[in-house]
Amino acid sequence: MQIRMVKETDLESLRQLFREAFEEEGEAVSNLALSLIEDKSAQPRVTLVAEEGDRLVGSVIFSAVTLEGAEQICSYILAPLAVVKDVQRSGIGRKLIESGCEALCEQDGDAVFVLGDPEYYGRHGFFSKHHVHPPYELPYPEAWMARSLRGISLESLQGRLICADSLMRPELW
Ligand SMILES: CC(C)(COP(=O)(O)OP(=O)(O)OC[C@H]1O[C@@H](n2cnc3c(N)ncnc32)[C@H](O)[C@@H]1OP(=O)(O)O)[C@@H](O)C(=O)NCCC(=O)NCCS
């Protein structure tokens, strides 16, 4: 299995991958993924795929976000992440997250945010006790997490996060 940057020729397989992994939400998530990949306001962006032979088995997208009042902070949001069912629980999700964070560090990233399962992301260095607000109010605030990159302290960060246009839709939150 290798992790690499996405290519133009991957897009149809990616659509299928997100559709299958997210089941009933699959159509919406695959539309979001494809729209983020084309979205100029999501740049800089890191899109990785996990490939086994000639099959894509996982993918993750990190897109740039802006922290209101602290525009000098270089931060990203992780969304979406998916691994196909038959190879889940073999560490591919972890490798995608770690390779993505390494790539963001190389782009001088300071922080990554995610809205997801605290149990899963808590194992990957994300925590809920930070002071950055999501773009929209959430029913489960503990699912809104941050991870520091390059050892930067997130203690003093506060304000509201603004995402790429594709993500600034309340129904996605
Ligand atoms: C969530 C997902 C990306 C994890 O990918 P993965 O490659 O299976 O994850 P890893 O192999 O790196 O880690 C597996 C560990 O995480 C845990 N885990 C996997 N999915 C989990 C979930 N949804 N919630 C909590 N823990 C989860 C497992 O318990 C496993 O640990 P264990 O095998 O020791 O029990 C994958 O299950 C997936 O694509 N799910 C459907 C789409 C989705 O929900 N994406 C997340 C969007 S926020």
Calculate how far, in angstroms, residue 168's C-alpha sits from the geometric centre of ligand 1.
25
In tens, the pLDDT along 113-168 reads 999 999 999 999 999 999 999 999 999 999 999 999 998 889 889 999 999 999 99
User: pTM of the prediction?
Assistant: 0.95
Whose Cα sits closest to atom 24 in ligand 1?
A: 120
Ligand 1 binding site (Cβ under 6 Å of any ligand atom): 21-22, 80-83, 88-94, 116-117, 119-120
Backbone phi, psi, residue 74, to 5°: -95, 100
Strands 55-67 and 45-52: antiparallel
Domains of the chain, start order? 2-168 (3.40.630.30)
Tokens of 69: 């009042």
Q: Which amino acid is at 35?
A: S
The backbone torsions φ and ψ at residue 89, rounded to the nearest 5 degrees and listed phi first, read: 65, 25
Taking the CA of residue 88 as reference, the ligand 1 atom at the shortest distance is 8
For the stretch 5-26, pLDDT in tens is: 999 999 999 999 999 999 999 9
Ligand 1 centroid, distance to 57 Cα (angstroms): 13
